[in-house]
Protein backbone atom coordinates (compact mmCIF):
# COMPACT_ATOMS: atom_id res chain seq x y z
CA UNK A 1 0.00 0.00 0.00
CA UNK A 2 1.20 3.48 -0.83
CA UNK A 3 2.38 5.30 2.30
CA UNK A 4 3.16 9.02 2.08
CA UNK A 5 4.75 11.04 4.89
CA UNK A 6 4.73 14.82 5.37
CA UNK A 7 6.76 16.76 7.93
CA UNK A 8 5.34 20.01 9.29
CA UNK A 9 5.45 22.36 12.27
CA UNK A 10 3.83 25.43 13.79
CA UNK A 11 5.43 28.73 12.76
CA UNK A 12 4.62 32.42 13.22
CA UNK A 13 2.34 33.78 10.52
CA UNK A 14 4.33 35.45 7.75
CA UNK A 15 2.43 38.68 8.52
CA UNK A 16 3.50 38.60 12.17
CA UNK A 17 6.05 41.16 13.37
CA UNK A 18 8.89 39.06 14.75
CA UNK A 19 11.19 40.89 17.17
CA UNK A 20 13.85 40.18 19.76
CA UNK A 21 12.75 41.25 23.24
CA UNK A 22 14.87 42.86 25.94
CA UNK A 23 15.53 39.40 27.38
CA UNK A 24 17.03 38.21 24.09
CA UNK A 25 14.10 35.93 23.28
CA UNK A 26 12.25 35.98 19.98
CA UNK A 27 8.65 37.16 20.17
CA UNK A 28 5.89 37.70 17.62
CA UNK A 29 3.53 39.62 19.88
CA UNK A 30 -0.08 38.49 19.95
CA UNK A 31 0.08 36.81 16.53
CA UNK A 32 -0.91 33.16 16.57
CA UNK A 33 1.23 30.27 15.43
CA UNK A 34 -0.01 28.63 12.25
CA UNK A 35 0.68 25.58 10.14
CA UNK A 36 3.92 26.37 8.28
CA UNK A 37 2.51 28.12 5.18
CA UNK A 38 4.53 26.06 2.68
CA UNK A 39 3.17 22.89 4.26
CA UNK A 40 -0.39 23.75 3.26
CA UNK A 41 0.71 22.55 -0.18
CA UNK A 42 2.65 19.47 0.95
CA UNK A 43 -0.20 18.30 3.20
CA UNK A 44 -2.76 18.88 0.45
CA UNK A 45 -0.63 17.03 -2.10
CA UNK A 46 -0.22 14.08 0.26
CA UNK A 47 -3.99 13.88 0.71
CA UNK A 48 -4.63 14.13 -3.04
CA UNK A 49 -2.08 11.43 -3.86
CA UNK A 50 -3.34 9.24 -1.01
CA UNK A 51 -6.85 9.44 -2.40
CA UNK A 52 -5.70 8.80 -5.97
CA UNK A 53 -3.69 5.72 -5.02
CA UNK A 54 -5.84 4.46 -2.12
CA UNK A 55 -2.94 4.62 0.27
CA UNK A 56 -2.11 6.08 3.68
CA UNK A 57 -0.84 9.54 4.67
CA UNK A 58 1.07 10.32 7.87
CA UNK A 59 2.08 13.74 9.16
CA UNK A 60 5.03 14.12 11.55
CA UNK A 61 6.35 17.06 13.53
CA UNK A 62 9.71 17.27 15.27
CA UNK A 63 9.82 19.53 18.31
CA UNK A 64 7.86 20.46 21.41
CA UNK A 65 4.17 20.29 22.22
CA UNK A 66 3.64 23.67 20.54
CA UNK A 67 3.58 21.82 17.20
CA UNK A 68 0.58 19.68 18.15
CA UNK A 69 -1.79 22.30 16.68
CA UNK A 70 -0.09 21.99 13.28
CA UNK A 71 -0.51 18.23 13.40
CA UNK A 72 -4.19 18.55 14.24
CA UNK A 73 -4.74 21.00 11.41
CA UNK A 74 -3.11 18.52 9.03
CA UNK A 75 -5.42 15.81 10.35
CA UNK A 76 -8.40 18.11 9.82
CA UNK A 77 -7.31 18.62 6.20
CA UNK A 78 -7.34 14.87 5.69
CA UNK A 79 -4.15 13.17 6.86
CA UNK A 80 -4.73 9.70 8.33
CA UNK A 81 -2.45 9.80 11.34
CA UNK A 82 -0.09 12.17 13.14
CA UNK A 83 3.06 11.64 15.19
CA UNK A 84 5.15 14.11 17.20
CA UNK A 85 8.83 13.46 17.85
CA UNK A 86 9.83 15.27 21.02
CA UNK A 87 13.07 17.21 20.61
CA UNK A 88 14.61 20.47 21.77
CA UNK A 89 16.99 20.67 18.80
CA UNK A 90 14.29 21.46 16.26
CA UNK A 91 16.23 24.22 14.48
CA UNK A 92 19.33 22.10 13.89
CA UNK A 93 18.94 20.63 10.39
CA UNK A 94 21.23 17.66 10.96
CA UNK A 95 19.50 16.60 14.19
CA UNK A 96 16.14 17.05 12.46
CA UNK A 97 17.29 14.83 9.59
CA UNK A 98 18.55 12.12 11.96
CA UNK A 99 15.21 11.99 13.77
CA UNK A 100 13.16 12.26 10.57
CA UNK A 101 15.04 9.42 8.87
CA UNK A 102 14.74 7.24 11.96
CA UNK A 103 10.99 7.87 12.15
CA UNK A 104 10.55 6.92 8.50
CA UNK A 105 12.49 3.71 9.07
CA UNK A 106 10.36 2.96 12.12
CA UNK A 107 7.18 3.31 10.05
CA UNK A 108 8.76 0.85 7.67
CA UNK A 109 6.61 1.05 4.54
CA UNK A 110 7.07 4.67 3.43
CA UNK A 111 7.49 5.21 -0.32
CA UNK A 112 7.30 9.00 -0.62
CA UNK A 113 8.20 11.88 1.72
CA UNK A 114 6.82 15.33 0.84
CA UNK A 115 8.13 18.57 2.33
CA UNK A 116 7.00 22.13 1.76
CA UNK A 117 9.58 24.42 0.15
CA UNK A 118 11.03 25.41 3.54
CA UNK A 119 10.22 26.21 7.17
CA UNK A 120 9.48 29.94 7.31
CA UNK A 121 10.73 30.39 10.89
CA UNK A 122 14.23 29.11 10.08
CA UNK A 123 14.08 30.20 6.42
CA UNK A 124 15.92 27.00 5.52
CA UNK A 125 15.43 23.86 3.44
CA UNK A 126 18.65 22.08 4.44
CA UNK A 127 16.72 19.56 6.55
CA UNK A 128 14.97 18.26 3.42
CA UNK A 129 18.13 17.16 1.63
CA UNK A 130 19.82 15.99 4.82
CA UNK A 131 16.84 13.72 5.51
CA UNK A 132 17.14 12.21 2.03
CA UNK A 133 20.87 11.76 2.54
CA UNK A 134 20.37 10.00 5.87
CA UNK A 135 17.86 7.66 4.23
CA UNK A 136 20.02 7.08 1.17
CA UNK A 137 17.11 8.17 -1.05
CA UNK A 138 17.03 10.49 -4.05
CA UNK A 139 15.71 14.01 -3.48
CA UNK A 140 14.01 16.41 -5.89
CA UNK A 141 13.35 20.01 -4.87
CA UNK A 142 11.11 22.78 -6.23
CA UNK A 143 8.50 20.35 -7.58
CA UNK A 144 5.61 22.21 -9.22
CA UNK A 145 3.69 19.16 -10.48
CA UNK A 146 3.65 15.39 -10.03
CA UNK A 147 3.21 14.13 -13.58
CA UNK A 148 3.13 10.40 -12.84
CA UNK A 149 3.30 8.34 -9.66
CA UNK A 150 3.32 4.54 -9.74
CA UNK A 151 3.72 2.86 -6.37
CA UNK A 152 3.56 -0.57 -8.02
CA UNK A 153 6.46 0.11 -10.38
CA UNK A 154 8.10 2.31 -7.70
CA UNK A 155 8.59 5.29 -10.00
CA UNK A 156 7.77 8.99 -9.96
CA UNK A 157 7.98 11.67 -12.67
CA UNK A 158 7.76 15.34 -11.73
CA UNK A 159 8.02 18.81 -13.15
CA UNK A 160 10.28 21.16 -11.22
CA UNK A 161 11.05 24.85 -11.50
CA UNK A 162 14.58 25.99 -12.29
CA UNK A 163 16.00 29.41 -13.15
CA UNK A 164 15.87 28.65 -16.87
CA UNK A 165 12.26 27.43 -16.79
CA UNK A 166 10.86 23.96 -16.13
CA UNK A 167 12.55 20.58 -15.92
CA UNK A 168 11.01 17.09 -16.03
CA UNK A 169 12.71 14.44 -13.91
CA UNK A 170 12.03 10.78 -13.12
CA UNK A 171 13.41 8.69 -10.28
CA UNK A 172 12.80 5.52 -8.34
CA UNK A 173 10.78 5.31 -5.17
CA UNK A 174 11.26 5.68 -2.29
CA UNK A 175 12.32 9.30 -2.56
CA UNK A 176 12.01 12.73 -0.94
CA UNK A 177 10.52 15.75 -2.69
CA UNK A 178 9.78 19.35 -1.76
CA UNK A 179 6.87 21.14 -3.41
CA UNK A 180 6.05 24.69 -4.45
CA UNK A 181 2.76 26.54 -4.16
CA UNK A 182 2.03 25.96 -7.86
CA UNK A 183 1.41 22.26 -7.23
CA UNK A 184 -2.20 22.58 -5.96
CA UNK A 185 -4.89 24.68 -4.34
CA UNK A 186 -4.56 24.07 -0.57
CA UNK A 187 -7.44 22.22 1.05
CA UNK A 188 -9.25 23.78 4.00
CA UNK A 189 -10.08 21.71 7.09
CA UNK A 190 -13.57 20.24 6.86
CA UNK A 191 -16.05 20.37 9.74
CA UNK A 192 -15.92 16.60 10.11
CA UNK A 193 -12.13 16.73 9.87
CA UNK A 194 -11.93 19.36 12.61
CA UNK A 195 -14.10 17.25 14.92
CA UNK A 196 -12.03 14.16 14.21
CA UNK A 197 -8.76 16.02 14.76
CA UNK A 198 -9.94 17.53 18.04
CA UNK A 199 -10.50 14.06 19.46
CA UNK A 200 -7.28 12.58 18.09
CA UNK A 201 -4.63 11.32 20.47
CA UNK A 202 -1.24 12.01 18.93
CA UNK A 203 1.51 9.58 19.93
CA UNK A 204 4.82 11.10 21.01
CA UNK A 205 8.09 9.39 20.13
CA UNK A 206 11.48 10.19 21.59
CA UNK A 207 14.97 9.79 20.22
CA UNK A 208 15.31 6.70 22.43
CA UNK A 209 12.17 5.21 20.87
CA UNK A 210 13.80 5.70 17.47
CA UNK A 211 17.14 4.29 18.55
CA UNK A 212 18.87 7.60 17.89
CA UNK A 213 21.58 9.03 20.12
CA UNK A 214 21.67 12.80 19.90
CA UNK A 215 24.61 14.80 21.15
CA UNK A 216 25.07 18.55 21.15
CA UNK A 217 23.61 20.20 18.05
CA UNK A 218 26.14 20.88 15.31
CA UNK A 219 24.60 24.33 14.87
CA UNK A 220 24.19 26.34 18.05
CA UNK A 221 22.46 29.72 18.24
CA UNK A 222 24.33 32.04 20.58
CA UNK A 223 21.98 35.02 20.39
CA UNK A 224 19.29 36.77 18.37
CA UNK A 225 19.41 40.42 17.34
CA UNK A 226 16.89 42.71 15.71
CA UNK A 227 17.61 43.93 12.21
CA UNK A 228 19.20 47.40 12.09
CA UNK A 229 16.69 50.21 11.73
CA UNK A 230 16.53 51.55 8.20
CA UNK A 231 16.34 55.29 7.66
CA UNK A 232 16.08 57.42 4.56
CA UNK A 233 14.46 60.40 2.93
CA UNK A 234 12.12 60.76 0.00
CA UNK A 235 12.46 63.54 -2.57
CA UNK A 236 9.58 64.44 -4.87
CA UNK A 237 10.84 65.66 -8.24
CA UNK A 238 8.71 68.46 -9.61
CA UNK A 239 8.50 69.44 -13.28
CA UNK A 240 6.14 70.63 -15.97
CA UNK A 241 6.67 67.51 -18.08
CA UNK A 242 7.85 63.91 -17.76
CA UNK A 243 10.98 64.83 -19.74
CA UNK A 244 11.86 67.65 -17.35
CA UNK A 245 11.36 65.34 -14.36
CA UNK A 246 13.52 62.66 -15.98
CA UNK A 247 16.31 65.16 -16.68
CA UNK A 248 16.25 66.37 -13.06
CA UNK A 249 16.36 62.74 -11.86
CA UNK A 250 19.38 62.02 -14.07
CA UNK A 251 21.18 65.12 -12.73
CA UNK A 252 20.58 63.95 -9.14
CA UNK A 253 21.78 60.42 -9.88
CA UNK A 254 24.91 61.74 -11.58
CA UNK A 255 25.62 64.05 -8.63
CA UNK A 256 25.24 61.11 -6.21
CA UNK A 257 27.45 59.00 -8.54
CA UNK A 258 24.66 56.44 -8.84
CA UNK A 259 25.13 56.39 -12.63
Residue 137 lies in a domain: yes
Please, which residues bridge with residue 147 across strands? Answer: none
Assess if residue 220 is contained within a domain.
no
Domain membership flag for residue 217 = no
Q: Cα torsion for 243, 249, 253, 259, to the nearest 10°?
A: -30
For residue 141, what pLDDT is reported? 96
pLDDT given at position 219: 75
**Residue 125 located in a structural domain:** yes
C-alpha angle 137-176-124 in degrees, rounded to nearest 5: 115
Residue 235 has pLDDT above 90, yes or no: no
CATH number at residue 153: 3.40.50.620
Residue 26: predicted pLDDT: 83
CA dihedral 214, 215, 220, 221 (to 10 degrees): 60
Residue 193 lies in a domain: yes
**pLDDT (0 to 100) of residue 89:** 67
Residue 110 CA neighbour count, 13 Å, CB half: 26
Confidence of residue 90 (pLDDT cuts 50, 70, 90): low
Percent of the chain with pLDDT over 90: 71
Question: With 80 as the cut, is the pLDDT of residue 220 above it?
Answer: no
At 227 the pLDDT is 85
Over residues 16-39, mean pLDDT = 86
Q: Give tens-digit pLDDT for 155-202.
A: 999 999 998 899 999 999 999 999 999 899 999 998 899 999 999 999
Say if CB 8 and CB 68 are below 8 A apart.
Answer: no
Identify the pLDDT of residue 232: 82
Give the global pTM: 0.85
| % the chain with pLDDT above 70 | 99
Tell me: the pLDDT tens digits for 96-144? 999 999 999 999 999 999 999 998 888 889 999 999 999 999 999 999 9
Residue 64 lies in a domain: yes
Tell me how far CA of residue 176 lies from CA of 67, 125, 171, 253, in angstroms.
22, 12, 10, 50
- Would you say residue 239 lies in a domain? no
Is there a domain that residue 38 lies in? Answer: yes
Q: Over the stretch 56-85, which tens digit does the pLDDT of each residue have?
A: 999 999 999 999 999 999 999 999 999 999
Range of the domain at 7: 3-210
How many distinct structural domains can be found in the chain?
Answer: 1
Amino acid sequence: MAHIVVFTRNTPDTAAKVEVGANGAVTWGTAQLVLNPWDEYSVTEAVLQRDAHKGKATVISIGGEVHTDALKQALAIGMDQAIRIDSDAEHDALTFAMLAAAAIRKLGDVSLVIFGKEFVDSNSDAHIYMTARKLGWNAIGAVSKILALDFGAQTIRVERMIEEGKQVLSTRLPCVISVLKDINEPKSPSFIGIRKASKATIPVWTAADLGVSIGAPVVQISAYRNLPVRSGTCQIIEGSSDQEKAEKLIDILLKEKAL
